[in-house]
Amino acid sequence: MTEQPSRRATRVWRRPMRSRDRAEHHRVATPLELLFDLCFVVAVGQAAAQLHHALAEGHFGHGVLSFAMVFFAIWWGWLNFSWFASAFDTDDVPYRLATLVQIAGGLTVAAAVSSAFEGDFRLMVAGYVLMRLALVVQWLRAARADPECRPSALRYAAGITLVQLLWVAFLWVPHGAQLPAFVVFAVLEMAVPVWAERRHGTTWHPHHIAERYGLFTLIVLGEVILSATNALKEGTAEPGHLGALISLAAAALVLVFSMWWLYFDRPGHARLVRSPTMFTSMSWGYGHYFIFGSAAAVGAGLEVAVAYDTGTLHLGGVAAALPTTVPVAVFLLSVWLLHIGPTNECRPIAIGFPVAAVLVLAASFTPAPIHVTAVLAAALVALTVVATHGEPQPG
């Protein structure tokens, strides 16, 4: 059996944008996709930093709502690029240039995070629309070159374009009506793939998609570590708190490591391969908004905890704990729903995740909430190791 030549063995200026094989072997993330992720992590870091500032000032409702809106723009731009690349990545010059425009849009979104938290969405919308219209160009290329996928590609192009017109109109929506308008427009954005894939789905690659989501999870967890490290660095300047900060740093490290372990313990592609339906792919892909968002929010929560332990935060103990415990609980529940499942054959794990999430929320009322949360997360890791000992990994 002869080996097929690599698609990337010969560099050409332009290739037809054909669908890739869903069963293609050794389908891994490309260097361009990794660069795309690194540029988007800037936006994630900015969103987490602004969330921290809002929480530290006691503006919980405004901070969480603004973070959710900003993070949607970041997440949705990343998600659409990743799923398109899984099905149509040609890696020619026009494809790379269109990706460059998407990166420029993502960096513009990152630069607009602080103004969006203050209610000024002009720069945010400009970057977001730039990012999305660049993807429209990619879909039109796919429609021209791939007759089989042409109906879906044209639906994507038309749907995305129409919704971008709505986002531009969002700039003239009265302040009191912005939240309802945002919800409606976001739902319409998420409805475009459902409509476009209804008759003929694109040939995304399950292993490649799972790897892409895993890589972005790693990047977000890296932002958590960076946020905690910066907070600890600032905290050491406060005299008399070194012991408490060292203890908090150890708890934060255990917590982040446990989150990594729990997410990657089960192969991400297993559910996509086992049930490759549109509902499964959509629910799995869309559900990661809560995994990514909650993981990023943990970094902001740990910064609040550092400020509380050093006495520079004017909040009560419970109020200082909730910015960490709530996102950790959301993370555990999201991983449980997307990777484990309530009907999982391993009952200790199926029950352990939601129980751990409830106990993490209860930890907010303890004298050392971050430490208790870290212990609970580590205990859940130990439970998964013991419960699955000797069992083959799902493929």
Q: What is the pLDDT of residues 333-357, one digit of tens each?
A: 999 998 887 766 677 888 999 999 9
pLDDT of the residue at 2: 41
Rounded CA separation 18/149 (Å)? 9
Rounded CA separation 209/280 (Å)? 13
Rounded CA separation 221/230 (Å)? 14
Asked whether 351 and 336 are in contact (CB, 8 A), the reply is: no
Rounded CA separation 15/144 (Å)? 12
386 burial (CB, 10 Å; 0-12 / 13-18 / 19+) is exposed
140 burial (CB, 10 Å; 0-12 / 13-18 / 19+) is middle
Q: Looking up tokens 């969002």, which residue turns up?
A: 170
DSSP character string of 309-358: HTT---S-HHHHHHHHHHHHHHHHHHHIIIII-TT-S-HHHHHHHHHHHH
Runs of H (alpha helix) within 57-170 = 60-88, 93-111, 113-117, 122-145, 150-170
> What count of other Cβ atoms lies within 10 Å of the Cβ of residue 166?
14
DSSP single-letter state for residue 198: S
Q: Is 252 helix (H, G, I), strand (E, B) or coil?
A: helix
pLDDT of the residue at 241: 65
Rounded CA separation 237/218 (Å)? 29
Give ranges for CATH 1.20.1410 in the chain.
206-387
CATH topology of domain 206-387: I/LWEQ domain (1.20.1410)
pTM value is 0.90
Greatest Cα pair distance in the chain:
69
Q: pLDDT 10s digit of each residue in the chain, 395 long? A: 344 444 444 556 767 677 777 777 777 889 999 999 988 889 999 999 999 999 988 899 999 999 999 999 999 999 999 999 998 888 889 999 999 999 999 999 999 999 999 999 999 999 999 999 999 999 999 999 888 889 999 999 999 999 999 999 999 999 889 999 999 999 999 999 999 988 777 888 888 898 999 999 999 999 888 877 877 776 665 666 677 788 888 899 999 999 999 999 877 666 666 666 666 778 889 999 999 999 999 999 998 888 888 777 778 889 999 999 999 999 999 999 988 877 666 778 889 999 999 999 999 999 999 999 999 999 999 999 988 765 655 55
Q: What is the pLDDT of residues 30-52, one digit of tens each?
A: 999 999 998 888 999 999 999 99
Here the tokens at position 157 are 């192009």
> What count of other Cβ atoms lies within 10 Å of the Cβ of residue 301?
30
Short-list 160, 15, 153, 34, CA closest to 87: 153
